[in-house]
């Protein structure tokens, strides 16, 4: 190798010199260019909101101009569930109780903790209980995770009820929100089902018997249950009735565990999410939240309602 | 609202939420921190334990180290150590010049190798690369050209510059050779170095070994190692994980000292200046029984299989110990921790370790001796009836098979006769013959089953006496009194209290009385009560029976207390019973389910004889039960002796038998039916033989897995709440005293609480309930003491369905199984009443007051520590089946006829004999079958020398050993040598005579007869000149002599020892009460020694 | 589970308390633990200037049966007269009674004498018949007979052993670690050969001679229980108080009939 | 009074939500009532003062003309939502740290829990099992509840009270809903949780849950009381009673509506009214059936070979 190099280099001295010259020029330029650029950079960083990165994320300023306040909501994928402006009294907690929002927030918490729990859980008869023990004893924050999931689920049920209670008391289901009320009723049912399907998953006595008691009622489904009215007449037995379909067997066993796991983690959440999207969308489309509206006098009851139905529309 | 003044600024727009947010965020942060803290510390209490452990253990080791250093200094001060040390120094000195030289050479070589290696590896890499190209090149021409390149490259020389500056040129082959030869040289030198250092390392090891062997505790170096380990301990969960058995135990996260090789007590682990050990100190102790850990390696067994608890949990003590509501396996309490043994050792009667004082063993024993299995099935207990049943089943199947075979073979032969070809006929005939042979095999099987049935019938025992004999043996009026409350009449009796009403008692007594046999017994002559008393106290009756009440009570608790036997027993029956308890009034045929009488025999014109040799039913040939189902053996007493003892026993009473109230209602036939109902209801047939109830099943629940029954299945009846809240339902002070930990103070809503209360007062769960007579709980009160309740509770707690894999269960198939089976027999027949099987285990006799006297101590039955190694198994079988070793002269001991205590005849079945012999052999690690060692025939000179030893004044063997000479044997205290040949194993005898105390501590045979000189056992006393130059073991010589001893030789030697017997025989005729009198002087024993 | 429930309740209560804005600080009521208990009082050294002594005579009340002669013809090597030594009474004086301080020395410990106590076998008898020795002290056992003996102690609380000692063999040296009174020693080959060793922890013991006399020296002042033990008779105890330098006489009488 | 038993029931981890639900409900009912009362007062005031009605902003909260009628969601609504999220998080975390989710023994099909209870939110239905056959309590009733809830917007023709709390303008609607939610749903849950002990027996709070308690109870069927024995007779009798209940009840509802809520009645179509009637009657039938059972131990009213009611 060394011999070769010598041989080649011999005739190329001129080229080398030319290269040398150019490099010297570049080095000179470097000395002046970089400090200038650095200065510019520092100047630019002084106002980070003007950087390209910043502006690409936040597409408007965050000063207190009405436009930007509105944009803050409208240009945010999460926040644009809300309108830009709402009825001034709708921010009052005493009216809304915030239960809808809390329910949604709990749903998010449950999704988050639930996904983490899924990392550690196998829906099999052998593993399930052990996994819960493992969660409790081994997984960092596992116990907290499980506790949060459990209690958030309970809280969510309560929050849903209170939400419905408030909606009824403020008459918010009335025209034009009839349909959204129905979506809400379905969401209530799915919330309960979510909670119920999760009950069995630790595979302990509590869940086992709660689910046994719960699904035993399905035996008595009219027409479709083997103990229900007309069920036997239709050929229903413990092995083909609706309960069998729910549990994947005639008793609460491995199949039931798997089924409730899948319903709990995939089936119901998807359906509920879809319904939730519809629910939120309809809230907007039906004119935002119903109130607090202006009180209506008896005399106005049978007349067409004066003015817009709600302040926000 | 409208009335309130309206503010000027819009409250919705102007209101600030800063404060709300501030508070909320602070709270949120606090919560997050709390969650973090909870995760890091709140749920990890073991961290604090590890922290404290580090401090305390380091302090402990520091003090241990100074102690250890002191004792090491002591060891180092010994002359042996100094000698070894000097050895080491010398060896080092000797080796060092050569060693240094070698080391230098190796160093030089190393650098040389390095310089060659640098060049060589570079060139080799290029060669390999070229070779690869040749191998993979596809065209022949390029192959050749590369080959040429390679050849020329190999031929090129390269310069190697050696470290000494010299240069050398090598081509590739030379280079390779140089490199290899240098390496060879280095290996050679290294080997040489090793050889040179050998003496040094050897003496170093010897020195280290010496220190290690002579320090009782750890050496400072070892302690230093521990210190380092503690120092390096970083907070982490200490976990044992056995995937195979799904064991995850983190107990050692807090119990850090469990496996430390030093003894840690709560006191030694307490903080400095602490008054009492705190929780930390209590948690840091080392395992109280490290030997157990040796055989149960925690890395395999973990902790929870024995102790239970929640091995995974680390969040709190309560959780980890499993002491919370929903954990099915809470930690066994201190009082019951041995329940854990049952997890794997359910099949063991005695825990193998050969240690005494195990609560669980006691529990098992109680379960058996108290007849619990009469009502409750328990896997492994009282299995004979079940086995018999399955044998009957087998017989049926085999008989059908045989019938089928006969038919089939007849059919085939018929076919063969009509076959078309000869081949076909032959084939069929062969098959037919095969079937006939199979039938003969079946016959063999059946025969074996018959033998087995015979054995099983013999082995089947009942805890209680045979009530078919009630009429023959009992004082009629006594029966109702006994049934009322058995412990009243006989404290400590096994017969429990069934809480019977008077009506029930009358009915039951009537049934028992009327269903009893009415055969007549031979009339017995009255005996001598005084002699009876002596026999009773010395023949060994007291190993099982006791006499006297309260503080006066002496003897064993295995069998009945006989203090008031005179009030209930019939003399004639008692004599028969003492003479041979197994003698039955009538044999029982399980097939016909009736007692066979003389009329049945007469029908077949057979003599009315039934015993183990005549056990076939005259009616149908089935196996008969010809013995009483009792474990009481025969002491081989003469009828006269039996009469004497019976006469004595009948004097044992507190009131006259006639003083009992008249109970003539027992003859009322109407009561009989009522009585039958109650006898059946209470399951009396579980423990007694009762006419008409031979086939009754058990009335109680199976207890094999009682400990793992869900708590909800244990019926606390009205006391669930009381149990949960720690209220004590038992009020009867007698029963209250049975609770091991006294009246409940805290919740007893657990298995332990349930069992303890049930055992202390079985009817407790009926309390407050309104139940009819037949519904009430039937379990009788067993009058257990505190420790007995505790032992049984431990046993029941451990009776769990194990989740461990099968290979964790202790179910050995080798000699260890023989040991297991043996213990079942040993406890069945109470061998431990007289014998000791391992040091520390006290027999009943050894603890009796009488045997504390040094003279009576010699009268104790032999210890069986090494019985299997001592005796020939074939001889042992013969001895066990006939301890008299004689068919006619049976009123004596076969081996030690100088003992007053009699080795009884248990009439073991063949099966049990087999098990016992195997047991003893296995216990001493002896192979089976035994092949006797060939004892060499001695030359006449050797015989002469051996005789000299045998009769030496320094070892006067025949002074103590029996010779068969009646007068000499009067004060013999050891067996006759003539038995040795048949009975003993020579190797054992040799070990025995060198140090008998090591084999049977406390034996009369002294140690120190031989000393070891130059690896040979040499007689310790003066030896005749003929021994000069004899360099064999003197012991061996003596043993060979003993094994060739003839009666004539023995007589000769005895005579030569100057103790011609008659003239010098001790003239002791005075009757002794304190000292044991010696056979054969039957009634007037000579007093031993000078004591009186 | 219960703990967490309790924690939850406590938390609720705590929240309530905070709401009430009660700011009374909780006093730490727990006292710091007092320094550890005083160490066990050290044994008071014995002041040789104040020690007293104890002596006396032990009597036997009643007529003792004449000691039975022992027939030693079983072993021709056993020469000389021998009689049963179980109860030796000479004019009412009882020999072979072991006298020792059973109680009262407190927790004092004493050095074990370096000199061995000698037990001699001569004429197929043990000399002495009753021996006192301190725990750990060497007992030197000699055999002066032309026959083999074996020495077989049958203790309750010490280790049992049994060693043969041929004629002219070197003396055996043994010791006993634990206190034990009237530890029987016998020879299996000569059943009449019996003696008793008494192992005690203090040096305050004596054996009565054939005149029934004993003396215990060097006793520091104090209250003591003195025990008189005879191999056949029930033990008798006496309480005495020794003043400084006092030479106290304590006599004791065994009643006949107590013999077994 | 068995305080320990009471404490055990109240502190069971899964019962804590119900314990929390009671004060929460009370608080929110109070909150709603307060606003309804204020609104009702405002309405009353405005009804009497038409002039004021024309100018008034018609809310109970203060308002000045210069104030914005609408406010920006950001930040005025979102700040409250975020705050709520933080507070919920805090509550949830504290709850989760201090109270562990229950985990009992591994499932054991051979060991029945006594009492075996459904999750707390279904206890109302489980309680109904006492009074009705499973097919009604477990299947028909939940279905009816869902359908009933869903038809509410379509049968409530009262245009008033939309978007604000009121009582006087919606007396019937609110009292019916409260009856359904509080009496028939929540209190049944509370009974199911706190009152029903082993064997699903009635234990008053503070009574010890005795597993051995036995209660003698003979339940009769209504036809039996009237001495009807034949199956056909029973079926016809039950049909008559049930039909009669619905016929008479329907008429009663009609007359009450006509008398007390003529305006609402006039606004309703026939379908709307008959659905209202039906659900109202079914709802009232529940406590009636419970009373029949609790007071007169009547098990079934209508017995047919296929089903019993």
**Residue B602 pLDDT more than 70?**
yes
CA dist C143 and C128 (Å) reads 13
Residue C254 belongs to some domain of the structure:
yes
Mean pLDDT over B586-602 rounds to 89
Looking at the fold, whether C95 and C206 belong to one and the same domain comes out as: yes
Task: Give yes or no for D87 touching C (CB within 8 A).
Answer: no
Alpha-carbon distances of B962 from B258, B407, B554, B967, C78, rounded to whole Å: 54, 65, 31, 10, 21
Do C159 and C91 belong together in one domain? no
Q: Chain B contacts of D114, Cβ < 8 Å? A: 712
Is D71–B13 a contact, with Cβ atoms under 8 angstroms apart? Answer: yes
Whole-number CA gyration radius for chain A: 33
Q: How far is CA B22 from CA B17, C17, C20, D83, in A?
A: 8, 22, 21, 10
Q: Do B854 and C77 lie within an 8 Å CB cutoff?
A: no
Q: Per-residue pLDDT tens for B25-39? A: 999 999 999 999 998
Residue of C nearest to B1092 (CA): C260
- pLDDT grade for B1088, boundaries at 50, 70 and 90: very low
How close is the nearest chain B Cα to the Cα of D105, in Å? Answer: 5
Quick check: is C22 in a domain? Answer: no
Percent above pLDDT 70 for chain C: 81
Pairing of strands C52-61, C247-249: parallel
Same-domain status, C140 and C164: yes
**How far apart are alpha carbons D75 and A222 in whole angstroms?**
53
Across A55-59, C125-129, D139-143, least confident range: A55-59
The residue written with tokens 């043969």 in the block is: C164
State whether C115 and C197 are in the same domain. Answer: yes
CB count, 10 Å around CB of D133?
20
Would you call D20 an interface residue with chain C, using a CB distance cutoff of 8 Å? no
What is the pLDDT averaged over residues A144-164? Answer: 95
* Chain B residue with Cα closest to A143: B39
Q: By C-alpha distance, which of B910, B908, B911, B892 is closest to B900?
A: B892
Neighbouring chains of D at 3+ CB pairs under 8 Å are: A, B, C
The domain segmentation of chain A, as residue ranges, is: 93-289
pLDDT the model gives residue A201: 94
Residues B240-244 have a mean pLDDT of: 90
A222 and D73 within 8 Å at the Cβ level: the answer is no
pLDDT at C69: 82
CATH class of A93-289: mainly alpha
**CATH code for the domain of C251:** 2.60.40.1120
Q: What pLDDT score does B756 carry?
A: 95
User: Which C positions 4-63 lie with beta carbon below 8 A of chain D?
Assistant: 4-5, 7-9, 11
CA-based nearest residue in chain D for residue A157: D121
Task: Give residue C86's domain range.
Answer: 43-74+81-109+202-260
Pairwise CB contact (< 8 Å): A225 & D139: yes
Give the H or E element holding residue B36. helix B18-37
In the prediction, which pLDDT does D135 show?
A: 87
Inter-chain residue contact A88 with D129, CB threshold 8 Å: no
Q: Find where tokens 């009450």 sit.
A: D256
Tokens coding A57: 């994320």
Q: What is the dihedral of CA C14, C17, C21, C22, to 10 degrees?
A: -110
Q: Is A133 an 8 Å CB contact of chain B?
A: yes
Q: Please answer yes or no on whether A181 and D31 come within 8 Å at the CB atom.
A: no
Residue of D291, D302, D299, D113 whose CA lies nearest to D217? D299
> Cα angle vertex B301, ends B300, B303, to 5°?
135
pLDDT score at B353: 63
Same domain, C98 and C208: yes
- pLDDT band at residue C25, thresholds of 50, 70 and 90? very low
Best D86, D88, D98, D198 residue to mutate vs chain B (most B CBs within 10 Å)? D86
* Residue B753 confidence class, pLDDT cut points 50, 70, 90: very high
Phi, psi of B623 (to 5 degrees): -65, 130
Looking at the structure, do residues C132 and C153 belong to the same domain, yes or no? yes
DSSP B614: B
D26 touches chain A (CB under 8 A): no
Q: Which residue in chain A is spatially nearest to D117 when comparing CA positions?
A: A210
Q: Could you tell me which of B624, B176, D307 has the C-alpha nearest to residue A221?
A: D307
- Inter-chain contacts counted by CB atoms under 8 A, chains A and B: 24
Position C40 confidence tier, pLDDT thresholds 50, 70, 90: very low
Non-local CB neighbours of D232 within 8 Å, separated by 6+ positions: none
Helices B18-37 & D78-98 angle (0-180, nearest 10)? 30
Q: Judge whether C127 lies within some domain.
A: yes
DSSP β-bridge partners for residue C253: C59
Return the pLDDT at C43.
Answer: 55
Q: Which long-range contacts (CB under 8 A, 24 or more apart) does B14-23 make?
A: B17/D79, B17/D80, B17/D83, B20/D83, B21/D79, B21/D83, B21/D86
**In chain B, which residue's Cα lies nearest the Cα of C259?**
B1092
Residue with tokens 């040389």: B112
Closest-CA residue in chain C for D7? C5
Nearest to C74 among B316, B971, B1021 (CB): B971
pLDDT higher than 80, residue D184: yes
Confidence band of B853 (pLDDT split at 50, 70, 90): confident
Test C5 with D102 for CB contact under 8 angstroms: no
Tell me which residue of B115, A168, B481, B37 sits closest to D32, measured CA to CA.
A168
Please indicate, yes or no, if residue C37 is contained in any of the structural domains: no
Of B10, B35, B313, the CB nearest to A144: B35
Q: Which of C150, C177, C201 is the last residue of a domain?
A: C201
Residue of chain B whose Cα is closest to the Cα of C149: B954
| pLDDT one-digit tens code per residue, C190-241 | 888 889 999 998 889 999 988 889 998 888 888 889 999 998 888 888 888 8
pLDDT digits (tens, 9 = 90+) for A38-74: 998 888 888 877 788 888 887 777 777 888 888 878 8
Segment holding B965, helix H or strand E: none
**pLDDT tens figures, B985-1039:** 999 999 999 889 888 888 888 888 888 888 888 888 788 888 887 888 889 899 9
pLDDT digits (tens, 9 = 90+) for B694-708: 888 899 999 999 999
Q: A133 and B43 in contact by Cβ < 8 A?
A: no
> Within an 8 Å CB–CB cutoff, is residue A60 touching chain D?
no
A142: CB partners within 8 A, 6+ apart: A120, A134, A135, A136
Q: Is the pLDDT of residue A221 over 90?
A: no
Distance of CA B757 to the CA centre of its chain: 29
The one-character DSSP state at B497 is B
C167 to chain B: which residues are within 8 Å by CB? 953-954, 1021-1022
- pLDDT value at residue B57: 92
Chain B residues lying within 8 Å of D58, measured CB to CB = none
Across the interface, which of B12, B38, B326 has its CB nearest the CB of A91?
A: B12
**pLDDT at site C29:** 38
Judge: B1064–C74 Cβ closer than 8 Å, yes or no. Answer: yes
DSSP string, B48-60: HHHHHHHHHHHHH
By C-alpha distance, the chain D residue nearest A165 is D181
Share of chain B above pLDDT 90, in %: 44
Q: Are B1032 and B1041 in contact (CB under 8 A)?
A: no
- Taking contacts as CB-CB distances below 8 angstroms, the residues of chain B near A204 are 326
- Is B775 in CB contact (< 8 Å) with chain A? no
What string of H, E and C letters represents the secondary structure of B341-401? Answer: HHHHHCCCCCCCCCCCCCHHHHHHHHHHHCCHHHCCCCCCCCCHHHHHHHHHHHHHHHHHH
Higher confidence at residue A81 or residue C17?
A81
Separation in Å, CA of D77 to nearest CA in chain A: 5
Summarize pLDDT for B759-805 with one digit per residue, the tens: 999 999 998 888 888 889 999 999 999 999 999 999 999 999 888 89
Confidence class for position C144, pLDDT limits 50, 70, 90:
confident
Is C128 in the same domain as C173? yes
Same-domain check for residues C47 and C124: no
Q: Does D11 touch chain C (CB under 8 A)?
A: yes
Please identify, among C182, C201, C220, the residue that sits at the C-terminal boundary of a domain. C201
Residue contacts between A and D (CB atoms, under 8 Å):
308
* Band of pLDDT at residue A256, cut at 50, 70 and 90: very high
Q: Is the pLDDT of residue C20 over 50?
A: no
Residue from A64, A126, A137, A145 whose CB has the most chain B CBs within 10 Å, to mutate: A137
Res B1068: pLDDT: 40
d(CA C247, CA C215): 10
- Whether C102 and C131 map to the same domain: the answer is no
Same structural domain for residues C223 and C195?
no
Number of domain units in chain C: 2
- pLDDT band with cut points at 50, 70 and 90 for residue A3: very low
Q: What is the mean pLDDT of the segment spanning B975-982?
A: 90
Residues 234-253 of A with CB under 8 A from B: none
Q: Does D105 touch chain B (CB under 8 A)?
A: yes
Instruction: Kindly report, residue by residue over D147-157, the tens digit of the pLDDT.
Output: 999 999 999 98
Instruction: Calculate how close chain C gets to B748, using CA atoms only, in Å.
Output: 17
Model confidence band, residue A293 (pLDDT cutoffs 50, 70, 90) = confident
Q: Which residues in chain D have Cβ-Cβ distances shorter than 8 Å to B713?
A: 111
CATH of residue C169's domain is 2.60.40.420
| Judgement on whether residues C196 and C211 belong to the same structural domain of the protein | no
Six-digit token string for C24: 């009374």
Q: For residue range B927-976, what is the model confidence (pLDDT) as tens digits?
A: 888 998 888 888 888 888 888 888 887 777 888 888 888 878 877 888 99
What pLDDT score does B780 carry? 94
| Minimum Cα–Cα distance from A142: chain B residue | B39
Tell me, what's the pLDDT at D252? 94
Task: Say how far apart CA B634 and CA B352 lie, in whole Å.
Answer: 30
Which of C155, C173, C201 is the last residue in one of the domains?
Answer: C201
D90–B contact, CB cutoff 8 A = yes
The verdict on B297 touching A (C-beta cutoff 8 Å) is no
Residues 6+ apart with CB under 8 A from B508: B483, B500, B675, B678, B679, B682, B684
Q: Cβ C164–B1006 below 8 Å, yes or no?
A: yes
Q: Are residues C178 and C226 in the same domain?
A: no
B1066, pLDDT greater than 50: no
Q: What is the pLDDT of residue B507?
A: 95
pLDDT score at C80: 73
Name the residue in chain D with its Cα closest to that of B12: D76
Q: How far is A140 from chain D (nearest CA, A)?
A: 14
């Amino acid at each position: 190798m060394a011999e070769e190099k010598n041989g080649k280099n011999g005739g190329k001295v001129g080229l080398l010199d030319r290269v040398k010259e150019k490099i010297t020029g570049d080095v000179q330029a470097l000395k002046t260019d970089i400090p200038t650029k650095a200065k510019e950079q520092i100047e630019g960083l002084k106002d980070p909101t003007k950087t390209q990165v910043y502006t690409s994320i936040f597409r408007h300023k965050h000063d207190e101009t009405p436009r930007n306040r509105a944009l803050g909501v409208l240009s945010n994928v999460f926040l644009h569930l809300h309108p830009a402006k709402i009825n001034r009294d709708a921010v009052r907690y005493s009216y809304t109780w915030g239960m809808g929002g809390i329910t949604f927030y709990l749903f998010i918490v449950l999704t988050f903790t639930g996904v983490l729990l899924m990392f550690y859980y196998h829906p099999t008869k052998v593993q399930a209980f052990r996994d819960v023990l493992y969660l409790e004893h081994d997984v960092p924050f596992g116990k907290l995770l499980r506790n949060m999931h459990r209690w958030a689920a309970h809280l969510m049920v309560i929050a849903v009820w209170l939400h419905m209670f408030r909606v009824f008391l403020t008459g918010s289901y009335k025209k034009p929100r009839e349909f959204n009320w129905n979506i809400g009723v379905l969401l209530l049912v799915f919330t309960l089902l979510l909670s119920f399907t999760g009950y069995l998953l630790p595979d302990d006595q509590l869940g086992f018997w709660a689910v046994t008691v719960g699904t035993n009622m399905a035996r008595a489904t009219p027409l479709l249950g083997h103990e229900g009215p007309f069920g036997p007449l239709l050929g229903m037995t413990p092995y083909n009735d609706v309960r069998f379909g729910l549990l994947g067997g005639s008793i609460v066993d491995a199949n039931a565990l798997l089924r409730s796991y899948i319903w709990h983690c995939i089936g119901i959440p998807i359906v509920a999410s879809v319904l939730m999207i519809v629910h939120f969308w309809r809230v907007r489309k039906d004119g935002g939240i119903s109130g607090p509206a202006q009180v209506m006098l008896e005399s106005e009851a049978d007349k067409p309602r004066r003015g817009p139905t709600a302040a926000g529309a | 609202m409208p009335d309130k003044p309206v503010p000027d600024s819009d409250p919705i727009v102007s209101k600030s939420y800063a404060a709300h947010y501030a508070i909320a965020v602070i709270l949120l942060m606090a919560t997050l921190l709390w969650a973090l803290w909870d995760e890091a510390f709140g749920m990890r209490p073991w961290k604090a334990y590890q922290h404290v452990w580090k401090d305390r253990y380091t302090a402990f080791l520091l003090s241990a180290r100074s102690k250890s250093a002191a004792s090491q200094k002591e060891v180092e001060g010994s002359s042996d150590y100094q000698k070894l040390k000097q050895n080491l120094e010398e060896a080092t000195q000797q080796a060092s010049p050569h060693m240094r030289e070698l080391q230098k050479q190796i160093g030089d070589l190393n650098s040389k190798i390095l310089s060659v290696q640098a060049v060589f590896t570079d060139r080799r890499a290029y060669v390999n690369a070229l070779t690869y190209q040749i191998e993979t090149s596809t065209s022949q021409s390029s192959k050749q050209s590369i080959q040429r390149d390679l050849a020329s490259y190999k031929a090129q020389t390269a310069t190697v510059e050696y470290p000494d500056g010299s240069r050398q040129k090598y081509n590739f082959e030379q280079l390779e050779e140089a490199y290899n030869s240098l390496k060879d040289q280095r290996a050679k030198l290294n080997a040489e170095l090793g050889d040179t250092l050998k003496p040094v390392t050897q003496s170093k090891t010897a020195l280290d070994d010496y220190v290690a062997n002579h320090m009782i505790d750890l050496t400072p170096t070892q302690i230093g190692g521990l210190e380092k380990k503690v120092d390096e301990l970083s907070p982490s969960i200490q976990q044992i994980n056995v995937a195979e058995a799904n064991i995850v135990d983190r107990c050692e996260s807090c119990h850090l000292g469990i496996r430390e090789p030093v003894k840690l007590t709560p006191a030694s682990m307490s903080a400095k200046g602490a008054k009492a050990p705190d929780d930390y100190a209590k948690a840091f102790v080392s395992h109280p029984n490290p030997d157990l850990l040796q055989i149960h390696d925690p890395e395999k067994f973990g902790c929870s299989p024995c102790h239970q608890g929640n091995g995974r949990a680390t969040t709190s003590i309560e959780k980890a110990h499993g002491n919370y509501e929903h954990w099915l396996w809470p930690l066994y309490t201190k009082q019951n921790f041995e329940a854990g043994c049952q997890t794997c050792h359910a099949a063991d009667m005695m825990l193998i370790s050969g240690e005494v004082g195990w609560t669980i063993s006691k529990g098992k024993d109680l379960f058996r001796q108290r007849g619990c299995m009469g009502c409750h099935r328990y896997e492994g207990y009282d299995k004979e009836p079940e086995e018999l049943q399955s044998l009957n089943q087998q017989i049926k199947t085999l008989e059908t098979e045989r019938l089928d075979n006969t038919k089939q073979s007849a059919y085939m032969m018929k076919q063969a006769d009509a076959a078309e070809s000869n081949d076909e006929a032959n084939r069929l005939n062969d098959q037919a013959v095969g079937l006939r042979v199979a039938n003969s095999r079946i016959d063999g099987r059946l025969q074996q089953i018959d033998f087995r049935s015979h054995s099983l019938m013999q082995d089947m025992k009942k805890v209680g006496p045979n009530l078919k004999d009630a009429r023959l043996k009992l004082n009629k009026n006594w029966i109702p009194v006994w049934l009322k409350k058995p412990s009243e009449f006989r404290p400590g009796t096994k017969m429990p209290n069934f809480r019977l009403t008077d009506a029930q008692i009358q009915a039951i007594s009537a049934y028992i009385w009327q269903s009893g046999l009415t055969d007549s017994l031979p009339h017995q002559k009255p005996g001598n009560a005084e002699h009876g008393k002596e026999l009773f106290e010395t023949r060994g009756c007291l190993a099982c029976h006791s006499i006297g009440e309260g503080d006066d009570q002496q003897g064993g608790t295995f069998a009945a207390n006989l203090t008031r036997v005179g009030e209930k027993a019939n003399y004639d029956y008692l004599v028969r019973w003492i003479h041979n308890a197994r003698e039955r009034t009538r044999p029982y045929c399980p097939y016909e389910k009736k007692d066979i009488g003389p009329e049945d025999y007469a029908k077949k014109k057979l003599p009315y004889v039934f015993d183990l040799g005549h056990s076939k039913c005259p009616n149908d040939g089935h196996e008969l039960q010809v013995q009483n189902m009792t474990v009481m053996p025969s002491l081989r007493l003469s009828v006269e002796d039996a009469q004497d003892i019976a006469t004595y026993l009948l004097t044992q009473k507190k009131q006259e038998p006639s003083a009992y109230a008249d109970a003539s209602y027992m003859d009322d036939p109407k009561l009989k039916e009522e009585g039958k109902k109650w006898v059946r209801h209470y399951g009396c047939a579980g423990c007694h033989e009762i006419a008409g109830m031979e086939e009754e099943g058990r009335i109680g629940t199976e207890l094999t897995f009682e400990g793992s029954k869900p708590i909800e299945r244990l019926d606390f009846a009205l006391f669930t709440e009381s149990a949960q809240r720690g209220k004590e339902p038992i009020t009867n002070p007698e029963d209250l005293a049975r609770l091991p930990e006294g009246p409940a103070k805290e919740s007893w809503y657990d298995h332990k609480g349930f069992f303890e209360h049930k055992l202390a007062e079985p009817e407790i769960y009926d309390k407050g309930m309104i139940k009819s007579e037949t519904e009430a709980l039937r379990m009788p009160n067993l009058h257990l003491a505190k420790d007995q309740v505790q032992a049984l509770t431990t046993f029941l707690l451990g009776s769990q369905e194990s989740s461990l894999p099968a290979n964790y269960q202790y179910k050995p198939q080798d000699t260890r199984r023989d040991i297991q089976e043996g213990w079942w027999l040993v406890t069945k027949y109470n061998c431990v009443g007289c014998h000791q099987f391992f040091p520390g285990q006290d027999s009943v006799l050894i603890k009796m007051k009488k045997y504390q006297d040094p003279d009576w101590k010699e009268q104790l039955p032999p210890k069986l520590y090494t019985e299997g190694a001592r005796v020939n198994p074939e001889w042992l079988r013969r001895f066990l089946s006939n301890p008299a070793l004689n068919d006619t002269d049976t009123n004596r001991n076969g081996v030690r006829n100088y003992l007053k205590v009699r080795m009884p005849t248990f009439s073991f079945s063949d099966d049990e004999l087999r098990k016992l012999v195997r047991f003893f052999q296995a216990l001493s690690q002896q192979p089976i079958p035994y092949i006797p060692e060939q004892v060499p025939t001695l030359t006449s000179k050797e015989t002469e020398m051996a005789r000299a030893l045998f009769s030496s004044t320094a070892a006067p063997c025949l002074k103590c050993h029996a010779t068969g000479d009646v007068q000499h044997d009067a004060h013999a205290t050891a067996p006759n040598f003539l038995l040795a040949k048949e009975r003993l194993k020579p190797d054992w005898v040799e070990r025995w005579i060198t140090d008998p105390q090591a084999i049977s501590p406390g034996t009369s045979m002294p140690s120190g007869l031989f000393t070891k000189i130059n690896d040979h056992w040499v007689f310790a006393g003066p030896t005749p000149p003929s021994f000069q130059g004899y360099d064999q073991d003197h012991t061996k010589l003596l043993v060979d002599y003993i094994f060739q001893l003839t009666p004539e030789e023995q007589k000769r030697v005895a005579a030569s020892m100057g103790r011609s017997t008659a003239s010098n025989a001790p003239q002791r005729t005075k009757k002794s009460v304190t000292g044991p009198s010696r056979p054969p002087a039957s009634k007037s024993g000579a007093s031993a020694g000078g004591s009186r | 589970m219960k703990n967490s429930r309790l924690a939850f309740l406590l938390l609720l209560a705590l929240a309530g308390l905070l709401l009430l804005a009660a700011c009374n600080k909780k006093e730490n009521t727990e006292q710091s633990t007092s320094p550890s208990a005083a160490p066990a009082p050290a044994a008071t050294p014995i002041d040789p200037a104040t020690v007293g002594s104890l002596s006396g005579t032990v009597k036997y009340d009643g007529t003792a049966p004449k000691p039975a002669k022992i027939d030693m013809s079983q072993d021709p090597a056993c020469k000389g007269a021998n009689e049963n030594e179980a109860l030796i009474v000479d004019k009412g004086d009882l020999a072979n009674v072991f006298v020792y301080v059973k109680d009262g020395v407190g927790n004092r410990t004493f050095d074990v004498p370096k000199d061995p106590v000698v037990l001699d076998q001569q004429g197929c008898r043990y000399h002495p018949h009753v021996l006192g020795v301190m725990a750990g002290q060497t007992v030197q056992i000699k055999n002066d007979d032309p026959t083999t003996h074996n020495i077989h102690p049958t203790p309750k609380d010490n280790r049992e052993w049994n060693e043969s000692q041929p004629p002219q063999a070197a003396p055996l040296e043994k010791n006993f670690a634990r206190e034990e009174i009237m530890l029987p020693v016998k020879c299996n080959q000569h059943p009449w050969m019996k003696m008793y060793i008494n192992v005690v922890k203090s040096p305050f013991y004596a054996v009565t001679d054939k005149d029934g006399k004993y003396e215990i020296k060097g006793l520091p002042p104090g209250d003591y229980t003195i025990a008189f033990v005879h191999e056949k008779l029930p033990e008798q105890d006496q309480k005495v108080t020794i003043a400084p330098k006092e030479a106290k006489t304590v006599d004791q009488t065994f009643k006949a009939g107590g013999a077994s | 009074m068995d305080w320990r038993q009471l404490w055990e029931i109240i502190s069971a981890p899964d019962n804590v939500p119900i314990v929390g639900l009671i004060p929460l409900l009370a608080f929110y009912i109070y909150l709603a009532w307060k606003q309804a009362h204020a609104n009702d007062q405002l309405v009353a005031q405005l009804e009497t003062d038409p002039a004021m009605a024309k100018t008034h902003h018609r809310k109970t909260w203060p308002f000045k003309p210069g104030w914005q009628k609408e406010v920006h969601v950001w930040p005025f609504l979102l700040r409250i939502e975020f705050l709520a999220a933080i507070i919920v998080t805090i509550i949830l975390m504290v709850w989760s740290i201090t109270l562990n989710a229950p985990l009992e023994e591994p499932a054991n099909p051979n060991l029945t829990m006594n009492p075996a209870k459904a999750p707390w939110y279904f206890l109302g239905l489980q309680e109904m099992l006492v009074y009705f056959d499973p097919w009604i309590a477990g299947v028909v009733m939940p279905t009816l509840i869902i359908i009933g809830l869903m038809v509410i917007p379509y049968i409530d023709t009262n245009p008033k009270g939309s978007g604000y709390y009121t009582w006087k303008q919606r007396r019937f609607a609110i009292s019916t809903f409260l009856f359904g939610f509080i009496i028939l749903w929540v209190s049944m849950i509370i009974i199911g949780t706190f009152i029903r002990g082993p064997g699903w027996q009635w234990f008053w709070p503070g009574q010890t849950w005795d597993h051995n308690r036995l209660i003698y109870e003979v339940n009769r069927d209504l036809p039996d009381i009237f001495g009807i024995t034949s199956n056909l007779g029973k079926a016809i009798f039950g049909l008559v009673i049930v039909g009669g209940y619905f016929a008479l009840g329907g008429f009663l509802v009609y007359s009450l509506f006509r008398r007390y809520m003529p305006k609402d009645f006039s606004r309703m179509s026939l379908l709307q009214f008959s659905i209202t009637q039906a659900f109202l009657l079914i709802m009232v039938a529940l406590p009636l059936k419970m009373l029949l059972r609790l007071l007169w131990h009547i098990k079934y009213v209508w017995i047919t070979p296929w089903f019993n009611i």
